[in-house]
Chains A and B, each alone.
Chain A
Amino acid sequence: MNCHSVETPITALEDAGKLSANEIRTVALIGPPNSGKSTLFNRLTRLRQKVGNYPGVTVEQRVGVLAGAGREIKIIDLPGVYSLTPYSDDERVAVDVLTGKMNGLPRPDAVLLVLDVTHLSRHLVLAAPVIALGLPTLVLLNMADVFAKGGGSLDVLKLAEELGTPVAMVSATQETGLDVVDRFLRGDHDHQPSTLLPVLQDAPQCRKWASQVGTRIGYERHLPSEWSRRLDDVFLHKFWGPLIFLLVVGAVFQTVFGLGQPMSAAFQDLLTRLGQQAAPLIPNSLFRSLLLDGLWKGVSSVLVFLPQILLLFLFIGLLEDSGYLARAALIADRTMRSVGLNGKAFIPLLSAYACAVPAIMATRTIEDKRDRIATILIAPFMTCSARLPIYTLLIAAFIPERPVVGVLLGSRACAMLMLYVLGFLMAIATAKVLKSSVLKSDAIPFVLELPEYRWPTWHSIGLRLYDRGRIFLRQAGTVILTVSLLVWVLSNLPLHNGHVPQIEQSVIAHLGHAIEPVIRPLGFNWKIGVGLLTSVIAREVIVGTLGTIYGSDPATHAMTLQNALRLDLAPAGAMALLVFFAFAMQCTSTLAVVRRETNSWKWPAVQFIYMTIVAYASAFAVNQVLSKLLK
């Protein structure tokens, strides 16, 4: 075994119980939360990784291939855990994988244990149960650069002796010392857990053992930079803290809404124009319609989310990597607690005002699984930008502009604001109900670690953007594309003499007629029904559909859509339609993302049914009451 480097001393354990290097095919990567494990995983695999889910739980499974190993070595990235006592899903998954009980994964032949050397006293606690498993283990003391800079020191050889495993100082962010992994996996290993490990592995025992080891290896804590404290004096200041918080969340909102929205629109325009450019190249046929109206539209409706997702994750990346996200959660916690959620739900819920899709992906920062699902379930009630086209259309058509609060607020803006408030109130009410019943948190208290402030690196943020974008396109994209194609098929069948029918003669129009009795009490006619059906792709699609239907109707084809609607729809029905859109889950993309994030069809199904019932009941009430009042 090669061990010349001072940084990576590997204990001389060359006798009994050797595992030949060629037998190592699978390696598990484990470490406590915030140990820099994910960064290390990305570095080791160079992004050759598959993202999935462990069966039955909302725990993400990442399996990668070790880069530059010369042969196929699989790395399994386990969720961040503090211990191997299986109290949470994360810990159960970690234990099952390490003991070979996880379906579809082989038992790892070796373990890479990542510990943050700047918090060794806390993190060493995990070393005892992991090493006690008896697998060949390499202990990687991460953040060596920060540790050394802060004047910390320890006797690495002595620690290796104490643990009975090789130990190496590394820095995942600086990419130093990582060659030791390769050498470890090439080398022969004796796996003989140290006899000095604590026998009883309860928390106080492990902690006591860790402290003794710390003393024996001469562990000198690095001095944390004064910067963190000083920055917190400002960011968590009684007055400046909340002010900066509001500025930051305002900036996030403004960017995702004010910049992401036009970017998405421009991107959409570009994609549509590309489609139009390509149109003459394909012979005019059903095939062209399938390609352009079905497939290309579907692809665009997936791609169009990308600018907003990337922008939001750029911000979340900056906030999380710098350490401010934890402070923001700390400030928001008090307010969020009143609806039964915790502070980490604030940024995702705020971004849901732009679009629920990136918002639901952002709930990843909420560790508490029940809080996370509750946040996912209420996020689509926030008024996203896809509702604006139908809102503006109906408001402009049915609400006359009158001043309400002097010149400050007109009746139309007031109506719009009320729709925002309506969605918000329903979200709060739903959260309260959920958190006091099915998703009630168990005895596990809310704990928020405040990491030291750090400069975010472009590398890590770039990786995150790449990762999120890829997951969205692959896993949500396929569902969205399928539904778009389905809607296209329904709108283009049955064929008339080999030609695409007018939308009134299509299957979807028949479906619209079929559901008319159901939506009649809401004040909607079959045309609106067709709009509701097509808008399951995305809420704004209803505007296009209504445009097509009214445009091809001889009675209304000369009018603007506003006037056509005014002629065809009673005011009570229009208001009911607004309320329906405020609550209904008319968005395949959201459902696809919820399915992906919760790893089951159960939650999107629950969400769809619940939101549809709420929307139907509210629209029904609005229509019945208003049609009586307005008569």
Chain B
Amino acid sequence: MTSFFVPTSLIDALREGLAAAVVLAGIALAYPAKIGRTGKHASRKHASGKDDLQKDDLRKDHPCAGNICGDNLCGHGLRHPGNSDGADFDAGGEQAQLPASQPAVALTELEPGEAGTIDHISLPFLGQQFLMRVGFVPGVQVEFSRRAPLGDPSVYLVDGTEIALRSETAKSIMVRRAEIPQLGDLP
């Protein structure tokens, strides 16, 4: 029934059309990446400039200023040098290692490879709870692993698990940059 009206050339043409569509989709995928990348750099510069202005305000106003939240929990698991008993969670014995001048910055401000300790999450209650359940708990160390090929989302290493967040989410997670690079933490 079906054989007499289907010109096979039509199907072939269709195949070619589809192949072309896949290639086009590829270009479309790659193109916003470039725009996104350059845009990102510009905004990063802008934002860091702003940071300098805000540093003092942050130091004064932030509840954690002068009493840095501890980083007893780190991305490599539960052992942490200088935290052998694990009993203290808030403002532990590590306070001295983190100078009070470290302002809380958005997670998106970190460079790939850089690590920080989560300070707080500026999201409504539900969003906060959700991120905490996934592992983004204040006091935990988080490392910025890499950006997705198209610039966003970004992958973060928290509690030994790699989790991707869109920048719209990551910008609400405030962290304090780790003084020591994360690899140095490994015994």
Contacts and interface: CB of A to CB of B under 8 A. Distances in A.
Contact of B162 (A221, A243, A335, A450): A450
Interface in B71-102: 72-73, 76-79, 83-87, 89
A596 to B, nearest CB: 28
A212 interface: yes
A445 interface: yes
A31 to B, nearest CB: 14
A118 B78 CA distance: 12
Contacts of B28: 335
Say whether chain B's binding surface is mostly helix, strand, loop, or mixed. mixed
B89 A211 contact: yes
A15 interface: no
Interface string A237-261: 1110111011001100100010000
A87 B1 CA distance: 55
A412 B13 contact: yes
A203 B137 contact: yes
A121 B76 CA distance: 10
Given A121-B77, A215-B78, A443 B4 contact: no
Given A203-B132, A330-B153, A122 B161 contact: yes
Interface stretch (A45-53, A391-399, A456-464, A481-489): A391-399
Given A442-B126, A446-B169, A119 B148 contact: no
A334 B129 contact: no
A448 B163 contact: yes
Given A334-B148, A410-B13, A204 B164 contact: no
Interface in B22-46: 22, 25-26, 28-30, 32-33, 36
B11 interface: yes
Contact of B4 (A215, A450, A561): A561
Contacts of B135: 122
B93 to A, nearest CB: 14
Contact of A413 (B13, B85, B131): B13
Contacts of A232: 146, 155
A242 B148 CA distance: 10
Contacts of B89: 208, 211-212
Contacts of B124: 443
A242 B160 contact: no
A560 interface: yes
Nearest to B84: A215
Chain B CB within 10 Å, residue with most, of A122, A211, A228, A417: A211
B127 interface: yes
Given A392-B5, A392-B7, A447-B164, A413 B17 contact: yes
- Determine the interface band of chain A, counting residues with CB < 8 A from chain B: 35 or more
A215 B87 CA distance: 9
A350 to B, nearest CB: 10
A438 interface: no
Interface string A331-363: 111110100000000000000000000000000
Nearest to A208: B89
A420 to B, nearest CB: 7
A226 interface: no
B164 A330 contact: yes
A236 B17 CA distance: 28
B16 interface: yes
A551 to B, nearest CB: 9
Contacts, number: 215
A207 B22 contact: no
B133 to A, nearest CB: 4
Given A211-B86, A237-B149, A544-B1, A335 B29 contact: yes
B144 to A, nearest CB: 13
A547 interface: yes
A381 B135 CA distance: 38
Nearest to A334: B150
A450 B155 contact: yes
B153 A445 contact: no
A333 B153 contact: yes
A128 B133 CA distance: 13
Given A242-B149, A410-B13, A560 B133 contact: no
Contacts of A337: 166
A221 B73 CA distance: 13
B183 interface: no
B53 interface: no
A216 interface: yes
Contact of A242 (B7, B14, B30, B79): B30
Nearest to A218: B79
A219 interface: yes
B116 interface: no
B36 A334 contact: yes
B180 interface: no
A83 interface: yes
A214 B86 contact: yes
B163 A447 contact: yes
Contacts of A119: 159-161
A393 B85 contact: no
Contacts of B77: 121, 214, 219-221
B160 to A, nearest CB: 6
B133 A333 contact: no
B76 A221 contact: yes
B139 A204 contact: yes
A203 B129 contact: yes
B161 A449 contact: yes
A123 to B, nearest CB: 9
Contact of A220 (B1, B79, B166): B79
A82 interface: yes
Contacts of A121: 73, 77-78, 159-160
A396 B1 contact: no
A281 interface: no
Interface-central residue, A203, A444, A547, by most chain B CB under 10 Å: A203
- Among B87, B134, B168, the one with the most A-chain Cβ atoms within 10 Å of its Cβ is B134
Contacts of B159: 119, 121-122
Contacts of A444: 126-127, 130
A9 interface: no
A92 to B, nearest CB: 14
Contacts of B123: 443, 445
Nearest to A447: B134
A331 B151 CA distance: 9
Contacts of B126: 87, 442-444
Contacts of A177: none
A228 B160 CA distance: 12
For the complex of A and B, 6 pairs with smallest distance between CB atoms:
A215-B86, A214-B78, A413-B13, A221-B77, A203-B132, A241-B149
14 contacts: A85-B129, A119-B159, A121-B78, A202-B129, A212-B86, A220-B77, A245-B149, A331-B29, A334-B151, A335-B28, A416-B13, A543-B1, A560-B4, A561-B4
Given A87-B129, A335-B32, A444-B127, 12 more contacts: A122-B135, A211-B73, A211-B89, A214-B78, A215-B85, A221-B79, A245-B29, A330-B148, A335-B28, A337-B166, A443-B123, A450-B164
